[in-house]
Amino acid sequence: MVPSIRPLREPDIAVLLSLIQALADYEHLPGPDADARDRLTRDAMAEPPGFRVLLAETEGRVIGYAVYMLTYSTFLARPTLYVEDIFVLPKERRNGAGRALMQELAREAARRDCGRMEWHVLDWNTPAQDFYRSLGAGQLDEWRLVRLTGAELGRLAGTLS
Q: Give the residue numbers marked as catalytic.
A: 132
**Residues sharing a CB contact under 8 Å with residue 84, sequence separation 6 or more, in sequence order:** 51, 67, 68, 69, 119
Quick one: 109 exposed, middle or buried, by C-beta within 10 A (0-12, 13-18, 19+)?
Answer: buried
What HEC string does the chain produce? CCCEEEECCHHHHHHHHHHHHHHHHHCCCCCCCHHHHHHHHHHHHCCCCCCEEEEEEECCEEEEEEEEEEEEECCCCEEEEEEEEEEECHHHCCCCHHHHHHHHHHHHHHHCCCCEEEECCCCCCHHHHHHHHHCCCCCCCCCCCCCCCHHHHHHHHCCCC
